[in-house]
């Protein structure tokens, strides 16, 4: 039963107020992309045992999408941040590194 | 292998059961095998069994990071059915179902396959149409199902409230020869038979790397050292993505927690398996008397084998509404397993980008029922180096081509 | 015999007797009794039968760990099986019956299993019942099912109500014993918000039974004073009858409050499930005494030593006149002393340790009790109750030294901390060699959302078993938790007790040490499931070496007590059999709930009418009053048809179709989704969302549009209207409004966040009515005439596929000239608050024009007659617009739209994809829904080759014949060909249907365009 | 308009708190740049209230304004005035990128009155009702539907949900407020 802080509302939102949206920072491939690119975009998902960047929507709250850096083994949430980003911002990276100095970083 | 029978029990009883031999051996790994199978769950063991039985390949190691049968094989709700809509699914699940029918005899181990019948309730007009469609498809696929009336539903399950204030029961898709089996026994029975064929089952042995040369697999590194092989079969759940990464490829798949629970045991009150997809719940009663109840999957990646409680709530309230007499019964235990869900929620069986490395994964919430069929298809794929007809359509290439096997079409998503 | 003592019983009120019945026999207890205490007070030693062998079973414990004493409680709509008597509060009029026997508790036919026990070892069923193959289903399984199970099946729906409650706090303290209270003091003094929950109805746990002093007062007095102090703290909440059922991730705790189990029918909710979010959890859950494994340790009258003591002190109940105590630790002596003090006979204390030198042993000797060190029980005599014991050397093989007559045996095998709450969320354990138990490893606590530990253990749940150690540990735990939760530091000292000296306990896993296999087959580990020492040893011998294998093979710890008494003993036996250390063997996983919780409580308020929300349109009540047959569509309920008295639904539907085509029909279309899309970039956005071009739609016009998923599949459709230069209104399907709204927001927020577009869902702001049929214009004109104004709805002013704002009669309305039926049709939106009034006005004004409301089935038929597709019928998540001949609605000019790239993949452009056509049977009959068309031969799986399927099929009352749509291989190229549809109705017939144009009615669209 | 009715037409229930449907209430969704002067001006004109901060609801002479999301406000006004206010606000915002819509009839509004009003709602929502004070607004869910609530005073909670589930919400609140269900 997760709780995540909605960066827009500033409240700790219960999992039942939220909707998980899978991997964050996907790059959309449209017409003109190769079959491989398109398949990767639609289906190939990071599925790490450990640090994961993902999308959530505060569905019965403000209705906004946000991103979370979360550990899939411990469920620790390092940070939540704006969905209007194409990769995790530095402070989020730092927050993860602070807990896991040997973490390989976002790729 | 000394055969199990009532006679054997009587013989052993005379010496207070001190003479039973091990069901399977626990050898040290050899340096090299023809085939190494990663994962001693139902699917991995079944793959090994049919490699031996159908292809005479017995120089096989099945390696397991935990204890055999300890993944989803030992934590599911044991439903076996084959009333799938799409041709490839119906084919492999029906193959599995028919193998379950004779599994106890084939393995000389009572897996308690109980063809008690599975019904999937239709509670909206839309669901009625979906299930009637499935019944039509099944008839042509050689899967015996029928769409039955609410009255017949009530006859089969007298404790059901078919006039729920919210969703009346409008009928059900009924597969009389579907049912349940004792999940642990399936793994144990296969393990005993594989061990008897001379295969090595190596527990508490975790794969730490996949060795390859010139694009072909040559072996694995494990916590018990390097083990070489000609062919490698990855047959795991909840860890497939991780293994694939070691082998250098990615899978169209995510891992999430799926939950189940049981009630305290009571005397028999429900003789068939009931699945209600509109309200999200399914239930059967084990031979011990527990009501075995399946819940939903979490909406986020998770490897903890713990799920979120609201899924339990959702399932339980659906079942209390459907079976009002259970309200004063009690939940005895809840648990979770990690299931791998693919882009179209159907499994992946076949070759991988790495030569001589084969994969069988992504069974999502439907793994247990498919075990013998999956093992059969995987064994053929490994032995021949190419998928046979059962496996052919489950290859990874379907995601590139857009040739999905989507079962959510007619019948919700629960298994 | 067990009986009520003349005096004593700190928890009962002898001035308040309570009557109850057990198996129909009238009995009496007192307020404050548990059902267990009351039964023992009435000498009811035999209370049930075991699961497998149907052996006689008596009460073993005094709390939640009880494995045996489960009863069928209550009757009728308040009947509950498997109720544990040790956790059931006695109330007046309670009725209960014993379980798992036939015909009676005293004489149970099932006990034949007991005599055959030698042939029924662990896992015997895996080795037999295999031949003949059909026998399992037809013979063996039914017999096993009938003899298994425990409680009876309820026959009625539940009379009670349940509810949930969300609570947010800083610290939750689980357990209200002295440890929990000491933790609460610390946490309370820190100012943190604290909730203390206790599963029984009294505070203080077991400490008062064991005696001693805290801060110079008796334990009992300290408990009272502490509870009073805590009650005086505003930041502390105390709650009894509330068990922590489970600890879940991120500080989520489930509290199971049994509000009215002891006051049935008083109108309160029976159970309340607390869903608690807390920063920190203190588990002050105590410890559970372990049984000892000796032959016959399951005979009624053999009990945990602490339980024997509890019954005497708490409830004034003696479980026997002569009680033999057998122990491997000092604590057992407390029971001997307590019984002696109560004037009861303790013939001997058998101490398995070679010497008994501790102060408690000395006290026992001083009290005149015979103490026998190095001794064990060779065998308990008796059947349905204990009659005596044979004693032997613990170090030997069990040769009887002496027979001692007794009617009860109190056993103590040491204590194990209750680690469930610690473990549920991943807390790890370490093995404590000195106490021979697993205890929480404080360095490996469960971690929460911030990655920090969120559970601390307090008191004996941490390991210490003496009062002084418990208090010190608990107070520190409370302090630590409060600090972690943001409380202030406290200096005030915690409660203290004097340290006691004790002789170390000795691990004793079987008794005697060299017991023969015959004896081991009589040593019970799991009383309820009938798992014996020999069964665990058999599992190990057969290779079921993992603790999980052993558990599953033998069923050890899988009973309703989940192994609270049996697990550690079983692990020890298994470790010994495998010749490995106990920590190497490890434990099985602890899973919620701690003890079983009712399904009713889990379901909470979600019953009957509020099981799930029902969405209602403003006209909903009218439909119900009109007797409409309502169909669930998502959470909505929509009228399927309005059958008149004497009419079948089918007749009603046909009438509605004909009337709408000939006169005037009204459809409540309020459920259709209505989304406003506005902004400078709205046009660009609309072009991405829809397959068609929407940016070039003229203001005032309407256009039918399709939406696809990124995977290319058709997901929704509807009519789009351009409202202003920068504003569009999108209609979605009834089920699609929220989904498509979320879909639009997702793209705007996560992909094109720099686009200036706002979306609002106005679905529920508006009631929408489709006014359909040749008389549609007339009724609107009449309304306008009545009101003396209104908008011009003529063909010229409002042509087909346009919309206008204005008044219809007295109503502010937006009117769309669109048609899903092929008739002259106006879809009119008015504010929802006036929806019902508008509907009424239309019905009244329409009377002279033959107005009738119509339902969803009529809608479906009319659209099928016109060859319009329906999302969910023609589509199923695998269909792309191209399959449905909708290429005209897919823009070729646009570079991109959602789904476009997907539709370029090889399988999507495959000419072999099935395509939409019309189908008409040769005999005019209606094709079965969902039927498949077959081709020649079989596929690779040996399945019949299929070449198409029916997607919609109806009887058309307009055309007086069956009509259908379907997807067929090369369908559009095969017009006029006949295909075969086998039936599944058991007749083995094949229906022949001809492929035709899917538009069956008014192909040129003249009727809608008048 | 005389023939306009609220979803439950003022239904009420006397439990250990009183639950009543508030009747017709004007509600307007305003989406725009909440930092812009134009929005503040339109809000002030419509309600007399100041711009609410995150999680707040403010009160003015003519109505209240709730913070719904970083780009959305809820204006609570007189039902009969709502349409005119929408028009005025839209006009006042002019070319500024924004969206003003009347959602008065898309909602149902309840008052839960009594000392235990927070407790009754706490049976249904995962949000922490104990920290709620007048001036705060929380969007969350009750049981299986989205809802928002705020306090008019310490003993009056106002709860807003969608109109189609008005009956469900009322039944939930009734069930939660039933005598005998007192938690504290």
Q: Rounded to 10 degrees, what is the CA torsion of C281, C282, C285, C286?
A: 160
In chain C, residues 683-712 whose CB comes closer than 8 Å to chain B: 711-712
C neighbours by CB contacts (3+ pairs under 8 Å): A, B, D
Alpha carbons C506 and C788: distance in angstroms, whole number: 101
Omega before C27 within 30 of 0, i.e. cis: no
How open is the CA angle A41-A42-A43, to the nearest 5 degrees? 105
Alpha carbons C904 and C907: distance in angstroms, whole number: 8
DSSP state of C860: H
**Does residue D182 lie in a domain region?**
no
Alpha carbons B61 and B51: distance in angstroms, whole number: 11
> Please, what is the average pLDDT of chain A?
96
**Does residue C93 lie in a domain region?**
no
Q: Do the Cβ atoms of B187 and B74 come closer than 8 Å? A: yes
Is C568's pLDDT higher than 70?
A: yes
Q: Do the Cβ atoms of C195 and C169 come closer than 8 Å? A: yes
Q: What mean pLDDT do residues C470-479 have?
A: 98
B50-65 pLDDT, tens digit each: 999 999 999 999 999 9
DSSP state of C728: E
Residue among C121, C905, C941 whose CB faces B87 most closely: C941
**B9 SS3 class:** helix
C818-835 pLDDT, tens digit each: 999 999 999 999 999 999
Sign of CA dihedral B322, B326, B328, B332: negative
DSSP B49-77: HHHHHHH----EEEE-SSSTT-SGGGSS-
Range of the domain at C257: 162-287+417-484
Q: What mean pLDDT do residues B56-79 have?
A: 96
What CATH number is attached to the domain comprising D164? 3.30.1360.120
Q: What mean pLDDT do residues B131-147 have?
A: 97
What CATH number is attached to the domain comprising C827? 3.30.1360.120
CATH of domain B26-109+182-252+344-401: 3.50.50.60
**% chain C with pLDDT above 90:** 94
Query: What beta strand segments (E) does C383-467 contain?
Result: 386-393, 402-405, 408-412, 415-417, 429-432, 437-440, 455-457
Tell whether D4 is within 8 A of chain C (Cβ).
yes
Q: What mean pLDDT do residues B116-133 have?
A: 95
- D55 shares a domain with D91: yes
What lies within 8 Å, CB to CB, of A4 at 6+ separation is A12, A13, A15, A18, A56, A68, A77, A80, C449
Q: Do the Cβ atoms of C56 and C299 come closer than 8 Å? A: yes
Confidence of residue B403 (pLDDT cuts 50, 70, 90): very high
Omega before C132 within 30 of 0, i.e. cis: yes
Closest CA to B326 of D174, C82, C111: C82
pLDDT at residue B410, rounded to an integer = 53
Is B411's pLDDT higher than 80?
A: no
In chain B, residues 163-202 whose CB comes closer than 8 Å to chain C: 164-167, 182, 184-185, 188-189
Closest CA to B133 of B120, B147, B150: B147
In chain D, residues 127-166 whose CB comes closer than 8 Å to chain A: 127, 138-141, 146-147
A neighbours by CB contacts (3+ pairs under 8 Å): B, C, D
- D121 shares a domain with D159: yes
Smallest Cα distance from C596 to chain D, Å: 22
Smallest Cα distance from A99 to chain D, Å: 29
- D131 shares a domain with D82: no
Is B414's pLDDT higher than 60?
A: no
Bridge pairing between strands C803-808 and C766-772: unpaired
Task: Tell me the domain boundaries of chain B.
Answer: 26-109+182-252+344-401, 118-179+255-342
pLDDT at residue B415, rounded to an integer = 37
- For chain D, the domain total comes to 2
Is C472's pLDDT higher than 80?
A: yes
pLDDT at residue B325, rounded to an integer = 97
Question: Which CATH topology does A3-99 take?
Answer: Folate-binding fold (3.30.2270)
- For chain C, the domain total comes to 6
The radius of gyration of chain B's CA atoms, rounded to the nearest angstrom, is 21
DSSP D83-112: HHHHHHHHHHHTTSS-EEEE-GGGEEEEEE
What CATH number is attached to the domain comprising C375? 3.50.50.60
- Helix (H) or strand (E) holding C683, with range, is helix C682-689
Which residues from chain B sit within 8 angstroms of residue C252, using beta carbons?
309
Q: Do the Cβ atoms of C288 and C316 come closer than 8 Å? A: no
**Does residue C115 lie in a domain region?**
no
DSSP B349-391: EEE-SSBTEEEEE--TT-HHHHHHHHHHHHHHHHHHSS--HHH
Is C292's pLDDT higher than 50?
A: yes
Which one of B300, B397, B406 would you mutate to disrupt binding with A, by most A Cβ within 10 Å of its Cβ? Answer: B300
Residues of A with CB under 8 A from a CB of D: 8-11, 13-14, 16-17, 59-64
Confidence of residue D2 (pLDDT cuts 50, 70, 90): low
A33-48 pLDDT, tens digit each: 999 999 999 999 999 9
- C380 shares a domain with C340: yes
- D79 shares a domain with D43: yes
- C677 shares a domain with C639: no
- C193 shares a domain with C269: yes
Range of the domain at D112: 12-23+106-176
Q: Rounded to 10 degrees, what is the CA torsion of C365, C369, C373, C379?
A: -170
- C756 shares a domain with C699: yes
In chain B, the largest separation of any two C-alpha atoms, in whole Å, equals 65
- C841 shares a domain with C724: no
- C780 shares a domain with C657: yes
Which residues from chain B sit within 8 angstroms of residue C248, using beta carbons?
306, 308-309
Is C121's pLDDT higher than 90?
A: yes
Alpha carbons B224 and B235: distance in angstroms, whole number: 19
Report CB contact under 8 Å: A17, D147. Answer: no
Q: What mean pLDDT do residues C223-233 have?
A: 98
Q: What mean pLDDT do residues C692-719 have?
A: 97
D43-81 pLDDT, tens digit each: 999 999 999 999 999 999 999 999 999 999 999 999 999
Distance from the first to the final alpha carbon of chain B: 36
**Does residue D153 lie in a domain region?**
yes
Is B413's pLDDT higher than 50?
A: no
Report H helices in D24-104. Answer: 37-47, 82-93
Pick the last residue of a domain from D77, D104, D131.
D104
What CATH number is attached to the domain comprising D68? 3.30.70.1520
Sign of CA dihedral C712, C717, C720, C726: negative
Report CB contact under 8 Å: A84, C746. Answer: no
What lies within 8 Å, CB to CB, of C491 at 6+ separation is none
Which one of A3, A61, A63, A83 would you mutate to disrupt binding with D, by most D Cβ within 10 Å of its Cβ? Answer: A61
- C680 shares a domain with C660: no
Alpha carbons D3 and C507: distance in angstroms, whole number: 83
pLDDT at residue C109, rounded to an integer = 87
Q: What mean pLDDT do residues C551-573 have?
A: 96
Which residues from chain A sit within 8 angstroms of residue C250, using beta carbons?
1-3, 75
Tell whether B24 is within 8 A of chain C (Cβ).
yes
DSSP β-bridge partners for residue C731 = C674
Q: What mean pLDDT do residues A52-81 have?
A: 97
Number of H helices, E strands in chain D: 4, 11
Which residues from chain B sit within 8 angstroms of residue C624, using beta carbons?
none
A73-97 pLDDT, tens digit each: 999 999 999 999 999 999 999 999 9
> What CATH architecture is B118-179+255-342?
2-Layer Sandwich (3.30)
Tell whether C591 is within 8 A of chain B (Cβ).
yes
- D158 shares a domain with D126: yes
Is A6's pLDDT higher than 90?
A: yes
Is B38's pLDDT higher than 80?
A: yes
What lies within 8 Å, CB to CB, of C1006 at 6+ separation is none
What CATH number is attached to the domain comprising C712? 3.30.70.1400
For B170, which residue in chain C has the nearest alpha carbon? C631
B99-122 pLDDT, tens digit each: 999 999 999 999 999 999 999 999
Smallest Cα distance from B305 to chain A, Å: 9
Confidence of residue D39 (pLDDT cuts 50, 70, 90): very high
Is D144's pLDDT higher than 70?
A: yes
D71-84 pLDDT, tens digit each: 999 999 999 999 99
Distance from the first to the final alpha carbon of chain C: 97
Report CB contact under 8 Å: B301, A52. Answer: yes
Report CB contact under 8 Å: D180, C269. Answer: yes
- Sheet with C402-405, side-by-side order of all strands: C375-382, C386-393, C402-405
DSSP A27-61: PP--TT--HHHHHHHHT-----SSEEEEEEE-TTT
**Does residue C953 lie in a domain region?**
yes
For chains A and D, count residue pairs whose Cβ atoms are closer than 8 Å. 38
Q: Do the Cβ atoms of C804 and C778 come closer than 8 Å? A: no
- D75 shares a domain with D18: no
Look at the pTM and tell me if it is higher than 0.80: yes
Which one of D139, D147, D160, D169 would you mutate to disrupt binding with A, by most A Cβ within 10 Å of its Cβ? Answer: D139
């Amino acid at each position: 039963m997760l709780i995540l802080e909605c960066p827009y509302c500033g409240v700790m939102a219960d999992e039942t107020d939220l909707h998980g949206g899978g991997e964050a920072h996907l790059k959309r491939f449209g017409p003109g992309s190769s079959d491989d690119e398109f398949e990767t975009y639609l289906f190939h998902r990071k599925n790490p045992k450990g640090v994961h960047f993902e999308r959530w929507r505060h569905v019965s709250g403000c209705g906004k999408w946000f991103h979370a850096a979360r550990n899939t083994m411990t469920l620790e949430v390092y940070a939540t941040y704006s969905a209007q980003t194409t990769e995790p911002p530095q402070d989020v990276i730092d927050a993860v590194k602070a807990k896991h100095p040997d973490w390989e970083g976002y790729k | 292998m000394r055969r199990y029978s009532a006679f054997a029990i009587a013989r052993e009883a005379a010496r207070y059961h001190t003479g039973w031999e091990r069901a399977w051996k626990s050898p040290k790994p050899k340096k090299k095998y023809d085939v190494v199978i990663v994962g001693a769950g139902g699917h991995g063991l079944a793959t090994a069994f049919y490699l031996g039985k159908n292809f005479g390949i017995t120089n096989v190691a099945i390696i397991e990071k935990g204890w055999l049968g300890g993944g989803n094989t030992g934590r599911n709700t044991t439903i076996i059915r084959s009333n799938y809509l799409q041709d490839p699914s119906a084919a492999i699940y029906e193959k599995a179902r028919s193998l379950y029918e004779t599994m106890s005899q084939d393995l000389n181990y009572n897996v308690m396959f109980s063809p008690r019948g599975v019904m999937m309730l239709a509670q909206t007009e839309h669901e009625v149409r979906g299930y009637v469609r499935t019944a039509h498809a099944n008839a042509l696929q050689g899967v015996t199902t029928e769409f039955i009336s609410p009255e017949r539903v009530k006859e089969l399950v007298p404790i059901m409230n078919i006039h729920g204030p919210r969703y009346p029961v409008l009928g059900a898709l009924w597969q009389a020869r579907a049912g349940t089996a004792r999940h642990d026994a399936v793994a144990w029975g296969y393990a005993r038979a594989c061990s008897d064929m001379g295969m090595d089952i190596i527990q508490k042995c975790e794969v730490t790397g996949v060795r390859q040369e010139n694009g072909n697999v040559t072996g694995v590194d494990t916590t018990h050292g390097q083990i070489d092989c000609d062919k490698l079969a990855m047959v795991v759940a909840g860890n497939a993505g991780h293994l694939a990464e070691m082998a250098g490829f990615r899978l169209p798949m995510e891992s999430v927690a799926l939950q189940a629970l049981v009630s305290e045991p009571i005397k028999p009150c429900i003789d068939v398996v009931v699945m209600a997809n509109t309200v999200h719940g399914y239930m059967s009663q084990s031979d011990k008397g527990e009501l075995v109840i399946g819940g939903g999957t979490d909406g986020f990646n998770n490897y903890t084998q713990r799920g979120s409680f609201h899924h339990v709530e959702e399932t339980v309230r659906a079942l209390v509404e459907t079976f009002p007499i259970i309200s004063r019964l009690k939940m005895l235990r809840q648990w979770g397993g990690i299931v791998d869900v693919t882009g179209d929620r159907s499994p992946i069986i076949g070759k991988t980008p790495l030569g001589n490395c084969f994969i069988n994964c992504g069974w999502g919430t439907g793994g247990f029922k498919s075990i013998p069929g999956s093992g059969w298809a995987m064994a053929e794929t490994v032995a021949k180096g190419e998928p046979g007809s059962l496996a052919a359509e489950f290859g990874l290439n379907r995601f590139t081509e857009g040739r999905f096997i989507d079962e959510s079409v007619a019948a919700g998503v629960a298994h | 015999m067990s009986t009520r003592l003349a005096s004593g019983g700190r928890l009962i009120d002898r001035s308040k007797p309570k009557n109850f019945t057990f198996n129909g026999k009238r009995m009496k207890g007192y307020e404050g009794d548990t059902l267990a205490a009351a039964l023992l007070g009435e000498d009811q030693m035999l209370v049930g039968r075991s699961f497998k062998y149907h052996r006689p079973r008596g009460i073993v414990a005094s709390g939640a760990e009880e494995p045996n004493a489960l009863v069928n409680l209550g009757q009728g709509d308040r009947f509950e099986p498997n109720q544990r008597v040790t956790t059931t509060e006695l109330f007046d009029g309670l009725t209960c019956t014993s379980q798992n026997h036939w015909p009676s508790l005293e004489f149970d036919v099932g006990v034949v299993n007991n005599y055959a026990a030698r042939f029924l070892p662990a896992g015997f069923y895996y080795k037999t019942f295999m031949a003949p193959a059909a026998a399992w289903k037809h013979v063996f399984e039914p017999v096993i099912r009938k003899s298994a199970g425990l409680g009876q099946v309820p026959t009625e729906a539940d009379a009670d109500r349940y509810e949930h409650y969300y609570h947010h706090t800083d610290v939750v303290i689980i357990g209200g014993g002295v440890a929990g209270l000491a933790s609460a003091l610390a946490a309370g003094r820190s100012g943190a918000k604290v909730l203390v929950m206790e599963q029984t109805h009294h505070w203080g746990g077991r400490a008062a039974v064991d005696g001693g002093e805290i801060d110079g007062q008796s334990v009992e007095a300290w408990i009272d004073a502490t509870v009073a102090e805590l009650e005086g703290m505003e930041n502390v909440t105390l709650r009894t009858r509330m068990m922590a059922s489970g600890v879940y991730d991120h500080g989520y705790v489930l509290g199971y409050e049994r509000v009215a189990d002891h006051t049935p029918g008083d109108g309160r909710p029976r159970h309340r499930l607390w869903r608690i979010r807390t920063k920190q959890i203190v588990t002050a859950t105590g410890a559970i005494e372990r049984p000892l494994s000796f032959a016959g340790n399951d005979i009624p009258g053999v009990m945990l030593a602490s339980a024997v003591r509890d019954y005497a002190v708490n409830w004034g109940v003696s479980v026997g006149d002569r009680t033999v105590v057998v122990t491997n630790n000092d604590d057992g002596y407390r029971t001997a002393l307590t019984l002696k003090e109560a004037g009861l006979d303790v013939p001997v204390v058998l101490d398995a340790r070679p010497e008994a030198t501790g102060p408690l042993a000395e006290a026992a000797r001083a009290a005149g009790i015979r103490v026998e060190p190095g001794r064990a029980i060779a065998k308990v005599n008796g059947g349905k109750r204990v009659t005596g014991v044979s004693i032997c050397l613990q170090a030997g093989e069990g040769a009887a030294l002496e027979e001692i007559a007794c009617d009860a045996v109190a056993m103590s095998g040491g204590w194990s901390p209750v680690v469930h709450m610690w473990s549920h969320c991943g807390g790890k354990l370490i093995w404590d060699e000195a106490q021979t138990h697993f205890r929480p490893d404080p360095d490996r606590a469960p971690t929460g959302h911030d990655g920090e530990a969120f559970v601390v253990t307090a008191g004996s749940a941490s390991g210490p078993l003496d009062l002084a150690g418990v208090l010190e540990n608990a107070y520190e735990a409370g302090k630590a938790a409060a600090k972690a939760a943001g409380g202030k530091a406290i200096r005030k000292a915690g409660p203290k007790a004097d340290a006691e000296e004790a002789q170390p306990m000795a691990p004793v896993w079987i008794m005697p040490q060299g017991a023969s296999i015959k004896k081991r087959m009589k040593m019970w580990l799991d009383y309820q499931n009938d798992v014996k020492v020999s069964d665990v040893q058999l599992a190990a011998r057969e290779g079921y070496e993992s603790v999980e294998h052993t558990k599953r093979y033998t069923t050890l710890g899988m009973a309703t007590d989940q192994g609270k008494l049996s697990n550690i003993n079983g692990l020890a036996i298994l470790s010994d059999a495998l010749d490995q250390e106990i920590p190497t063997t490890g434990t099985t996983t602890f899973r919620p709930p701690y003890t079983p919780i009712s399904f009713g409580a889990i379901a909470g308020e979600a019953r009957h009418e509020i099981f799930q929300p029902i969405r209602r349109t403003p006209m909903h009540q009218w439909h119900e009053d009109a007797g409409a047959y309502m169909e669930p569509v998502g959470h909505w309920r929509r009228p399927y048809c309005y059958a008149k008295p004497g009419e079948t639904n089918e007749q009603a539907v046909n009438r509605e179709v004909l009337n709408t085509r000939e006169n005037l029909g009204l459809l409540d279309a309020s459920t259709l989704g209505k989304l406003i899309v506005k902004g400078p970039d709205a046009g660009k956005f609309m072009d991405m969302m829809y397959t068609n071009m929407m940016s070039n739609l003229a203001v005032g016009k309407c256009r039918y549009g399709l939406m696809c998923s990124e995977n290319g599949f058709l997901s929704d459709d509807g009519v789009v209207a351009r409202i202003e230069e920068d504003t569009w209104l999108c209609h979605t399907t009834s089920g699609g409004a929220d989904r498509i709204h979320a879909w639009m927001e997702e793209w705007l927020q996560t992909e094109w966040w720099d686009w200036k577009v706002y979306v609002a869902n106005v679905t529920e702001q508006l009631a929408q009515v489709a006014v359909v049929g040749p008389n549609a214009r007339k009724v609107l004109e009449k309304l306008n005439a009545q009101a003396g104004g209104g908008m011009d709805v003529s063909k010229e002013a409002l042509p087909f596929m346009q919309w206008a704002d204005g008044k219809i009669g007295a109503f502010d309305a937006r009117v769309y000239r669109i048609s899903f039926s092929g008739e002259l049709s106006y879809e009119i939106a008015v504010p929802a608050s006036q929806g019902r009034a508008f509907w009424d006005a239309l019905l009244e004004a329409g009377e002279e024009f033959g107005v009738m409301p119509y339902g969803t089935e009529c809608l479906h038929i009319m659209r099928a007659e016109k060859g319009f597709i329906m999302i969910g019928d023609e589509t199923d998540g695998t269909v792309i617009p191209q399959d449905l001949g909708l290429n005209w609605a897919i823009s070729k000019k646009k570079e991109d739209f959602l789904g476009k790239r997907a539709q370029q993949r090889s399988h999507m452009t495959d000419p072999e994809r099935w395509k939409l056509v019309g189908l008409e049977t040769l005999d005019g009959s209606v094709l079965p829904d969902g039927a498949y068309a077959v081709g020649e031969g079989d596929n690779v799986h040996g399945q019949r080759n299929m070449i198409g399927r029916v997607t919609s099929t109806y009887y058309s009352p307009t055309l007086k014949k069956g009509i259908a749509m379907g997807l067929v291989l090369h369908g559009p190229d095969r017009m006029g060909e006949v295909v075969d549809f086998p039936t599944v109705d058991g007749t083995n017939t094949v229906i022949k249907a001809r492929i035709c144009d899917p538009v069956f009615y008014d192909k040129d669209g003249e009727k809608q365009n008048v | 308009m005389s023939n306009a009715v609220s979803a439950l037409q003022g239904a009420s229930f006397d439990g250990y708190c009183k639950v009543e449907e508030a009747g017709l209430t004007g509600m307007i969704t305003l989406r725009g740049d909440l930092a812009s002067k134009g929005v503040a001006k339109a809000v002030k004109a419509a309600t007399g209230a100041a711009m609410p901060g995150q999680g707040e609801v403010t009160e003015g002479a003519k109505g209240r304004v709730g913070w719904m999301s970083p780009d959305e406000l809820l204006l609570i006004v007189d039902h009969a005035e709502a349409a005119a206010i929408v028009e005025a606000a839209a006009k006042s915002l002019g070319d500024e990128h924004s969206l003003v819509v009347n959602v008065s009839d898309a909602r149902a509004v309840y008052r839960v009155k009594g000392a235990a009003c927070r407790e009754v709602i706490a049976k249904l929502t995962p949000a922490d009702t104990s920290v709620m004070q007048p001036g705060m607004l929380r969007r969350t869910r009750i049981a299986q539907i989205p809802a928002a609530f705020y306090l008019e005073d310490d003993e009056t909670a106002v709860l807003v949900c969608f109109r189609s589930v008005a009956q469900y919400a009322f039944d939930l609140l009734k069930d939660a407020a039933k005598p005998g269900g007192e938690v504290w």
